[in-house]
Amino acid sequence: MSKSVRYTSSPLLASKTPVWRSKFIVASFALAFIGLAGRAAYIQVVANEFFQRQGEVRFARTLDLPANRGRILDRNGLILASSVPASSIWAIPEDVEATPAQLADLAGLLEMPQAELKKKLGDDKNFVWVKRQLDEPVAQKIHALGIKGIYQRKEYKRKYPEGETIAHVVGFTNVEDKGQEGIELTFNKALAGKAGSRRVIKDRLGRVVENVGEQVPPVEGQDIQLSVDSKVQFFAYQKLRDAVIANKAKAGSVVVLDTITGEVLALANYPSYVPDKRQNLTGEQLRNRAMTDTFEPGSTMKPITVAMALEAGRVKPQTLIETGPGRFSIGGFTISDTHNYGSLTVEGVIQKSSNVGALKIAQKMTPNEMWDTYVALGYGQKPQIQFPGAVTGRLRPWKTWRPVEQATMSYGYGLSASLFQMAHSYTSFAHDGQIIPVTMLKSAEPAVGARVFSAENARAVRRMLQMAAAPGGTGPLAQTIGYSVGGKSGTAHKQVGKGYASNKYRAWFTGMAPIESPRIIVAVMIDEPSAGKYFGGLVAAPVFSEVVQQTLRMMGVQPDISVKPNIVTQAVEESF
574 closest CA partner among 449, 469, 423: 469
**Rounded mean pLDDT of 123-143?**
83
**Cα dihedral: 186, 163, 137, 203 (round 10):** -20
d(CA 394, CA 377): 13
Q: Please tell me the predicted confidence (pLDDT) of residue 282.
A: 81
Q: Is 444 helix (H, G, I), strand (E, B) or coil?
A: coil
Yes or no: say if 463 and 449 are a contact pair by the CB < 8 Å rule.
Answer: no
- Cβ neighbours of 502 (radius 10 Å): 9
How many CA atoms lie within 13 Å of 528's alpha carbon, on the beta-carbon side?
A: 13
- Backbone phi, psi, residue 174, to 5°: -90, -175
Q: Please tell me the predicted confidence (pLDDT) of residue 42.
A: 76
Share above pLDDT 70 across residues of the chain, in percent, rounded to a whole number:
89
**Rounded mean pLDDT of 20-38?**
83
CB neighbour list of residue 229: distance below 8 Å, 6 or more residues apart: 74, 75, 76, 265, 266, 554
How many CA atoms lie within 13 Å of 531's alpha carbon, on the beta-carbon side?
A: 13
Residue length, the chain?
Answer: 576
Q: Please tell me the predicted confidence (pLDDT) of residue 12.
A: 58
Lowest mean pLDDT among 8-12, 72-76, 78-82, 551-555: 8-12
Model confidence band, residue 563 (pLDDT cutoffs 50, 70, 90): low
Q: Please tell me the predicted confidence (pLDDT) of residue 193.
A: 86
Strand partners of residue 488: 510
Q: Which domains does the chain have, with CATH numbers?
A: 63-225 (3.90.1310.10), 230-273+285-554 (3.40.710.10)
Model confidence band, residue 430 (pLDDT cutoffs 50, 70, 90): very high
Q: Please tell me the predicted confidence (pLDDT) of residue 332.
A: 86
- Cβ neighbours of 310 (radius 10 Å): 23
Burial of 515 (0-12, 13-18, 19+ CB in 10 A): buried
How many CA atoms lie within 13 Å of 174's alpha carbon, on the beta-carbon side?
A: 4
pLDDT greater than 90 at residue 46: no
d(CA 71, CA 80): 7
Share the mean pLDDT of the chain: 88
> End-to-end distance of the chain based on CA atoms, in angstroms?
135
Q: What is the CA radius of gyration of the chain?
A: 37
**Rounded mean pLDDT of 80-87?**
90
**Rounded mean pLDDT of 425-440?**
96
pLDDT digits (tens, 9 = 90+) for 499-511: 777 788 899 999 9
**Rounded mean pLDDT of 230-244?**
97
pLDDT greater than 80 at residue 280: no
Yes or no: say if 489 and 508 are a contact pair by the CB < 8 Å rule.
Answer: yes
Task: State the catalytic residues.
Answer: 299
d(CA 341, CA 346): 12
CB neighbour list of residue 184: distance below 8 Å, 6 or more residues apart: 72, 81, 158, 170, 171, 172, 173, 191
Q: Is 347 helix (H, G, I), strand (E, B) or coil?
A: helix
Q: Please tell me the predicted confidence (pLDDT) of residue 416.
A: 93
**Rounded mean pLDDT of 182-188?**
95
544 closest CA partner among 534, 552, 554, 556: 552
Lowest mean pLDDT among 65-79, 247-261, 270-284, 547-561: 270-284
113 closest CA partner among 93, 131, 133: 131
Q: Please tell me the predicted confidence (pLDDT) of residue 212.
A: 67
pLDDT greater than 60 at residue 405: yes
pLDDT greater than 50 at residue 49: yes
Pairwise pLDDT comparison (92 vs 562), residue with the higher score: 92
Q: Where are the alpha helices (DSSP H) in 486-565?
A: 536-539, 541-554
Model confidence band, residue 70 (pLDDT cutoffs 50, 70, 90): very high
pLDDT greater than 70 at residue 4: no
Q: Is 562 helix (H, G, I), strand (E, B) or coil?
A: coil
Q: Please tell me the predicted confidence (pLDDT) of residue 348.
A: 95
pLDDT greater than 60 at residue 575: no
- Cβ neighbours of 136 (radius 10 Å): 13
Per DSSP, 482 falls in state: S
CB neighbour list of residue 574: distance below 8 Å, 6 or more residues apart: 299, 338, 353, 474, 489, 491, 535, 536, 537, 538
Q: Please tell me the predicted confidence (pLDDT) of residue 241.
A: 97
Model confidence band, residue 149 (pLDDT cutoffs 50, 70, 90): confident
Model confidence band, residue 6 (pLDDT cutoffs 50, 70, 90): low
pLDDT greater than 60 at residue 157: yes
**Rounded mean pLDDT of 81-87?**
89
pLDDT greater than 60 at residue 299: yes
- Cβ neighbours of 498 (radius 10 Å): 5
pLDDT greater than 50 at residue 1: no
Pairwise pLDDT comparison (115 vs 267), residue with the higher score: 267
Long-range Cβ contacts of 54-61 (<8 Å, 24+ apart): 59/201, 59/202, 59/203, 60/199, 60/200, 60/201, 60/202, 60/212, 61/199, 61/200, 61/201, 61/202
pLDDT digits (tens, 9 = 90+) for 334-364: 999 989 999 999 999 999 999 999 999 999 9
- The pTM for the full model equals 0.83
Q: What is the 3-state secondary structure (H, E, C) of 393-435?
A: CECCCHHHCCHHHHHHHCCCCCCEEEHHHHHHHCHHHHCCCEE
**Rounded mean pLDDT of 150-166?**
89
